[in-house]
Structure 1
């Protein structure tokens, strides 16, 4: 199993190399295992998807630090690929932020995303989000950087100011978070290609773009995003939206008289899925210890 330190170092090195980095959203251990075997440079633990799959609740500040740490740890242990994990607002004040960063790092993920929303936070592509004063988030970023044990553990600083305070304020905040020590900058929910271009070209540090199908931001090709200057493109919703659609269709098929016709061509092959989940190791163990 690859160590957490080597995963972090691998991602930190990749960020210095040319080319945009694609990060699919993982939200449960099936999605994590599937994505892990596909050769991505990094995976993104989506807060929306993780809260939905783990608790069956909306991403509205209802998941606790313990809930999210549990999932981050499980994902990190089950995968060889570096993971950036959603850490919401840090789950409280400055002491909580330090506590969160230390435990996420100890859990084995390669980085944490922290945002400047007021608590309780909301999904970044939903209305009604409010942000804390800039100075408060600057202090959170500084504390997060101080709390990590190794500089390869990445701090992703996100601002949700665009929707309520405008793009200029969002850019001002991202610049302040950069000066506070953030490794990756994340301006949430730009609403046009022109805004995306301004964001991508505004900073020296790597800039992340959030691609949410049906969200507030245009979803562009990876080549266009790279041309703009984005370094990291996350796709947090793609997996669970695809899963939801697929499950709905096959469950509808189960309601029909001809079940096989309703599931034909829509199912992962059972033996392959068993191997994906690690049954080969179980079979080998049983052979080695057969009486």
Structure 2
């Protein structure tokens, strides 16, 4: 039986959950051996509507993609749930919709509406008491204790490290299953946050925005869950740009310098075509 996310977190070591924006990416990550997957809001905004992560997607759009990704894999899916899409009543519905969709965990962030990707400038935050109330509402709304609620703060780049830790502590005291502080800027900050916040800690790797540490190094600092939210979407965008430029320049997809294409047989294997025939 596939371990639940709480089961994975009870094991020694860090749980690594690479991000993806679609079910194909989720299947590839799972077949590579990862035991948890992350659904990126940034990547979904790019892949669904071709727009930056500015809070443009609705809860129903996010949940629909979460349902499709969760159904395509046999491991826990952790999902971005932005700010909960409104007030406390919206947060209750958000939790119930994500849980019913088969998602294993969500994180709720303390940004004001309209929100932005945590790596962007110009973020604004709600008071920590307001976000703590959302987290309590989310925890009360879940039907299974195995559905985890992660309290996220984007305060580090807005108000500094100390405010981020104080907010993380408030979210832990509100009962969040894990706490996620975005954009910690050094291993020292990371280590101190783990030591001071009374809850298991998650970390998001956004390349060139946080310290360039390996998963092992981040685990050694005391973090329990590690997400790579937008990395695979950046890889996809780089591949697609190279593919488009090569095809436009060469007039063929088979030029020697063109990006390599996955053999059709391998592609069908990823999707389980052989099993579908039985």
Shared fold, TM over 0.5? yes
Partner of 1:3: none
Please name the residue that 2:93 is paired with.
Answer: 99
Summarize the alignment of residues 203-242 of structure 1 with structure 2, pairs less than 5 Å apart. 203-215=197-209, 217-242=210-235
Where does the alignment leave 5 or more consecutive residues of structure 1 unmatched?
Answer: 1-5, 286-291
Unaligned runs of 5+ in 2: none
After superposition, residues 13-32 of structure 1 pair within 5 angstroms as 13-32=7-26
Displacement of 1:262 after TM fit?
Answer: 4.1
1:138 match: secondary structure: helix
Query: Which 4+ runs in 1 deviate beyond 6 A?
Result: none
Give SS of 1:260's match: coil
Give the Cα separation in 2 of the matches to 1:45 and 1:259: 30
260, 264, 271: which one aligns with 1:270: 264
Alpha carbons 2:70, 2:101 under 8 Å: kept: yes
CA shift, 1:151, in A, is 0.8
From 244, 250, 272, give the equivalent of 2:243: 250
**Is the 8 Å Cα contact of residues 51 and 57 (structure 1) preserved in structure 2?**
yes
Offset, 1:281: 3.9
TM-score, with structure 2 as normaliser: 0.94
Give runs of aligned pairs for residues 35-50 of structure 1, distance below 5 A: 35-50=29-44
- Determine helix, strand or coil for the equivalent of 1:69: helix
Deviations 1:118-157 (A, max 9, x none): 0111000110111101111010010000000011100011
> Contact 1:20–1:233 at 8 Å: present in 2 too?
yes
Rg larger in structure = 1
What SS class does the counterpart of residue 207 from structure 2 fall into?
A: coil
TM-score normalized with structure 1 length: 0.90
Q: 1:122 to 1:262 in 2, by over 3 A?
A: farther
Describe the superposition over 1:161-180 as per-residue Cα deviations: whole angstroms up to 9, x where unpaired. Answer: 11111111111111111111
Q: How many residues align?
A: 277
Q: What is residue 134 of structure 1 aligned with on the other side?
A: 128
- Aligned Cα root-mean-square deviation (Å): 1.6
Q: Is residue 156 of structure 1 aligned with residue 156 of structure 2?
A: no
Q: CA deviation at 1:196?
A: 1.8
Q: 1:210-254, CA deviations, whole angstroms, 9 ceiling, x for partnerless residues? A: 111132x11211222112111111111211111111122222221
Specify the SS of the correspondent of 1:274.
helix
How far apart are residue 41 of structure 1 and its match? 2.0
Partners of 1:128 and 1:264 in 2: how far apart? 39
